[in-house]
Amino acid sequence: MSGLRIPVSDNDHIEGGAAAAVTVVEYGDYQCPYCGDAYGIVKQVQRRFGDRMRLVFRNFPLTEIHPQAMAAAVLAEYAATQGKFWQAHDVLYEHQRQLGGELYIAIAHSLGLPGDGVREAFESGDYATRIQDDMEGGIRSGVNGTPTFFINGTRFEPHRGFDELSDAVQAQLDAVR
């Protein structure tokens, strides 16, 4: 089992309290159908555990098989600069089958993101470094597909599916009692 090589930091996209007993790190791709399936499960796990768990999302767009993955990651990263990463993240997964320019414009509009800024985000390449850093950290941690999860630094290896994530988080909580 490989471990998380890049520790969670303030540079990460974090949802949940810093004092949470369990940290789940997800390396994801907005166009990956397995990530789309896992998205709903992750939301259920977050509701179940509340402040006892925090979620970290890192980009890992598999651009050779998912041509919209990088653009979606750029939109999410741009939204992050406006304090709206998680809103963009959620809408991208909830509308995964419609990824493309029209959806990105609609998301930007619905989140109140400046249109010129969105256009510049796609044209400038400014967000590629952030996304590449996430990917390199994932590779160093043994990520070779998406979604890949780490729970308190240890890679989560489901046997039957991502439904097991809740049990794995509970086991970590039980261990810290």
Kindly report the pTM of this predicted structure: 0.96
Specify the length of the chain in residues.
177
Give the C-alpha separation, 58 to 56, whole Å: 7
Please count the other Cβ atoms lying within 10 Å of the Cβ belonging to residue 36: 19
Predicted confidence (pLDDT) per residue in 53-76, tens digit: 999 999 999 999 999 999 999 999
Instruction: Dig out the tokens for 128 from the structure.
Output: 């590629």
Domains of the chain: 13-172 (3.40.30.10)
86-141 per-position pLDDT tens digit: 999 999 999 999 999 999 999 999 999 998 899 999 999 999 999 999 999 999 99
SS3 at position 143: coil
Q: How far apart are CA 110 and CA 157, in angstroms?
A: 36
* CA 158/CA 168 separation, integer angstroms: 9
